[in-house]
Structure 1
């Protein structure tokens, strides 16, 4: 009889055990393209290359949640970048994201390597989806996009408003500590998006670096209009960097067309203007082909390059006043 009672108790508890199991999802993006690049540097001509991640950085990731009861969940996410042209990792193994945390009525709290508060605003207001050559990822050669050794908080939406806050420790025993503190506020209402963020970094003993950004977007019918303004002001003279973007996208059936203008400036007087044209065609919900063309015009003090994803920062000018350009044709599959 005792054995029958024990068996019944175990069987009745099975749904509870099953309920507590972590749900794990494997996902990714595989993106590769043929690109024709021209750096416009003296003595250099066109070159043809195979690139990974022209529209979206190629990646593979694992994420999961566990229901802890009373509205509380545990979560994790690790994500690795892949360079499809060589098969190598494009950075540290899980350099794209590596976090564990809790989610509940209070919002979401994560610890690990996470996107910065400004990165959230920049991603939401880039017409090119931070790909396609000419995206605002060019700004993140100077601004902070990801935070290692960080504690991060994101509030639940309240009347359309969301708050992001982060603290990243430089893990230095003496000053300057290398610590970063940042926050951003986002607002969403229908097709309208507004966002702004600020970072302060203890990089040098003589003062703190400051980064800030603001952006907006509006979707109406088949049209999307997005723009942003991103600034990195490092301690010291003539170090302020500014990046401004404005773009429009139009969708009709499986076709999507993009136009984006970008201006980069440094306090020294260096300036570069980029015009980008792009087109995507959806073969299915998960697969599309794309093409993009971008041209950058540097002034006499500028040596800016054209960015697509975080793994593609070419073609880059190495000579003052050079005007790089690039044309790509690629395919992207998500899973």
Structure 2
């Protein structure tokens, strides 16, 4: 639960016909999360390493500002500015962007929210309720690093909730303006005269979600351009993901899973894969929650598959502070070299074990 600092700025906005003043509310929030991880088989020689992770612990660290102004008749002006932080060095994340997690402004009303700017897209939103581990250091995000970085630059987005139905979409004219490297900085700024397809990205979401159960599906296709990462070096290259995800409550336990079908047409050729995942989250005590997940990546026409097992126990010292421990195992087959820890390394075809302990505080 975010501990907000409500500034209630009482700005002298335009006075309405009734004489009341519009009020702008700004919320400052953040999350600080770091720990230590020990990983085996980090290279071909089988060496182990102990380190403080940069990308995430149980959740990525961040500092954010969120605001809203009541415009009357149920309409609000809204904005979000959110920076990613690397707790091990204090540097900025998401390709060294100042507000790399989100930088958007929009309008929110009874028919949904329309936003402009850098924002999370529908692939990100689709997995939030079905992935019990979320952006944990050991998770399905190690298998597909795009999933926790599913954001789009230069985007217009829409998200609407109608009773239990959720509908959303984003359209980006240039999906990633940073060339710093990594899954969140892939050098595809787009907006090229004469080539509207260059670095374009489209995502969509349709779902039905209640407290007891939910099901959704998402679609995500991104195009490349000259110099873009991951082999998408032409606007004729593309990377497509289709997800189907669900969850349901069995008493106090949450059971959730899904599948991510991926097709990549890159300069190096065609790659097709499916990522299956299933997890359980259960409060083992009033202040403790156990999360466990199994996942498998199946690469078609290849033996470069991987299977992952992860468990995490979180103990809440308060509503805002928790300590946690996590263990995991990644089994790589053939030429697969997927590290158990997000952003880590592993020897080709080697299995990897990891343990992690950390501290998280939200404000």
How many aligned residue pairs are there? 317
- Which blocks of at least 5 consecutive residues in structure 2 are unaligned? 1-11, 175-190, 225-233
Look up the match of 1:321.
349
User: Could you say what the CA RMSD is over the residues aligned between the two structures, in angstroms?
Assistant: 2.3
Q: Which residue of 2 aligns with 1:183?
A: 204
Match among 209, 223, 240 for residue 210 of structure 1 = 240
Work out the CA distance in 2 between the residues paired with 1:143 and 1:173. Answer: 31
Select the structure with the greater relative contact order (CA < 8 A; seq sep ≥ 6): 1
Match 1:59 to one of 58, 62, 75: 62
Give the structure 2 partner of residue 332 of structure 1.
360
Given candidates 263, 270, 278, the residue that maps to 1:246 is 278
For residues 258 and 17 of structure 1, the distance between their equivalents in structure 2, rounded to whole angstroms, comes to: 53
Structure exhibiting the larger radius of gyration computed from Cα positions: 1
The 1:266–1:229 alpha-carbon spacing in structure 2 relative to 1, beyond 3 Å, is same
Q: Structure 1 residues 40 and 87, CA, compared in 2 at 3 Å: closer, same or farther?
A: closer
Deviation at 1:40, TM superposition (A): 4.6
Paired residues of 1:79 and 1:94 also in contact (CA < 8 A): yes
- What's 2:229 paired with? none
Q: CA deviation at 1:205?
A: 4.6
Superposed, which structure 2 residues align to 1:263-302 within 5 Å?
263-267=296-300, 268-302=302-336
| 1:227 aligned counterpart, secondary structure | strand
Among 5, 20, 23, the alignment partner of 1:21 is 23
Q: TM-score, normalised by structure 1?
A: 0.88
d(CA) in 1 for partners of 2:237 and 2:84?
34
Q: Which residue of 1 aligns with 2:51?
A: 49
Matching of residue 84 in structure 1 with residue 87 in structure 2: yes
Deviation, 1:43, is 2.2
SS in 2 for 1:156: strand
Q: Structure 1 pair 132/258, CA: closer, same or farther in 2 (3 Å)?
A: farther
Aligned residue for 1:239, secondary structure, equals: strand
